[in-house]
Structure 1
Amino acid sequence: MPTMDLWSNAANLQLRQLFRSAMASLLLLDAPSRPIYVCSPWISDFTVFENRFGEFSHLVPCGDDDGNIRLSDCLRQLACLHDVRVISRRTEVTLTFLRNPRLVEDGVQACLAEDDLHEKGFLTPIFYFEGSMNITYSGVHINKEKLLYHAGSDPDVAKRMTLAYLELDRRWTQLAK
């Protein structure tokens, strides 16, 4: 299925499982190609992988030893091979996330947009999440969200992802000035 249409709520594990699976696939992608964009008005750090038994340590060796691998750990690991670009607003939630000094040290780049940014998406060379979900704990775990997940080589998916790259590359260039 090249595009998956998801409606989620707190009782639905489908979104969390899909996000984890997509992130694991992305972490296995070792050939640098297009940038990875995380675009959301609110971005927070949340657990992506529960790692109590170390089963995900090979994917994210830079993770903390507290039994959890967080979004910031995943982005830091991805920045070892890819341009990782965060586009967000100057919200307290996002600023708290971006204050993690290890994000900058490991090459995660960020640009803050005006307060009218409402776009939400997670765009990578192999998948694209778009919809109502903020990239936060609440967005992935609690809120009722409408999300489209695009992946695969279907021509319609490739076109949608290409257009998303054009728009996010344009936005990044404008904000980085």
Structure 2
Amino acid sequence: MGRDGVILAAGLSSRAKAFKMLLSLKGKTVIENTIDNMLQFSERIIVVGGHKIELLQPVIEKYKNVELVFNENYEEGMFSSVKCGLKAVREDEFFFTPGDYPLISKDVYSKIISEQGDVIIPTYKGRKGHPILIKSKFIKEILEEGRYETLRDFINSKSPSFIEVNHKEILMDIDTIEDYEKALKNLGED
């Protein structure tokens, strides 16, 4: 069964006060860490850009199995970027994560793909995180105009499978500089 990945990198990064996708982490950028972790478990990855997409281009061009798509409606919010990315999915299922989850381990991806279900969500101590694995048969339904307001609305309409993982990184996004500093500290603890 083939699998694509969709990574969102279109947001304004307004809370981070910096273009967070290009912040340095483990000798690479945040977005490269997110891509590298997912790439081993996906045929190809679609990165959805918007705000400052020109800064992402040179980073994405280094990868042969990663495609950068432009969401011209990125200011409408995350769901517009989700839809933009889903239009490019070709495989039977896809991983989905915002680009600011750079610490998701390979172990988490392995656990998720070993699980059966239409929508699979990792949890840490009962809290839902990323990445989410979704069967592509739902793309048409998600894209249907006016049917869902958010990806969460779609997920809540299904019966997702939850898989508990012992990795708090599935909850660790980088929304603020404090989050970034916490991520750096977390890496120091490894």
**Fold match (TM-score > 0.5):** no
State the TM-score, normalized to the length of structure 2. 0.28
TM-score by length of 1: 0.29
Higher RCO (CA 8 Å, separation ≥ 6 residues): 1
